[in-house]
Amino acid sequence: MERKNMNRIDERIKYRIEQRKKVLACFITAGFPTINSTPQLVLELEKAGADIVEIGMPFSDPLADGPVIQRSSQIALDQGINLDTIFEYIKKIRETSNVPIVLMGYLNPIMKYGVDKFLQTAKSVGTDGIILPELPYEECYRFKPRINEAKLANIMLVAPTTPLTRVVEIDKITTGFLYCVSVTGVTGANIGSTSKKYIKNVKKVVTKNPVLVGFGIKTPQDAKEISKYSDGVIIGSAIIREIMQGKTFQEVGNFIKEIRKGLDL
């Protein structure tokens, strides 16, 4: 998994693998809970043990998101969040932090902004990778050269509905890490034995990229269990839920510290 021209994502994952530890990625919604809170929350997550932070770009029709993340996106949109504001957040974060940052979102706002302008601006402010959940494998070839040109990781998703032969092909065009959706459906759903079997099979056929598993991880026990079959976990809905329940960022950080402990046991 050694790569030429390694970026912050590659370096961080390599560091964890060399430690024989698992990778912890945390997802948050840009502009939630308040329009100016994102940089502070990112720094709190990094301090708590997050290796990578995924920043969700709110969109009015988020098909892959469960009700928790949809609600957080709507709150952010109501406060006027937009791509330029998100880029300002990343510039602010980069003043004090080198935590790997991945932008995750839907194509519609990016197309309106201008794909090349979006990618170049994302890179210039300090973004490390892009996840476009609705981008099918067949369409990826339209975007991959442009993502590569911007020197951003092109992080692709696979799900239990993805045949393993297709997983092999997706692995070839992915950089950074392969995002393995552990359940079929929307974010925040539950993990079952079928999902675990699927993750094991994915790990067997993926040779180029580390495999991080997301969707359905709520507790340190979930994280520990899933990390047995993968290189790390992605936690998102559980973080948003903590904030919605009125937890302070420090309390959210403590929650992430517990997840980190679960991974490190």
d(Cα 178, Cα 17) in Å, to the nearest integer? 15
d(Cα 52, Cα 142) in Å, to the nearest integer? 26
φ, ψ dihedrals at 58, nearest 5°? -60, 145
Catalytic residue among 10, 44, 54, 242: 54
Cα 113 from chain centroid? 21
Q: What does the CA dihedral 56, 152, 172, 114 come to, rounded to 10 degrees?
A: 70
Q: Evaluate the CA torsion angle 249, 251, 254, 259 in order and state its sign.
A: negative
Q: Respond yes or no: is residue 54 known to be catalytic.
A: yes
Kindly state the DSSP code that residue 250 receives in the 8-state scheme.
H
Catalytic residue among 44, 46, 51, 65: 65
Contacts of 59 (CB under 8 A, 6+ apart): 73, 105, 106, 108, 109
List the beta bridge partners of residue 26.
53, 235
Q: Respond yes or no: is residue 65 known to be catalytic.
A: yes
The set of catalytic residues is 54, 65
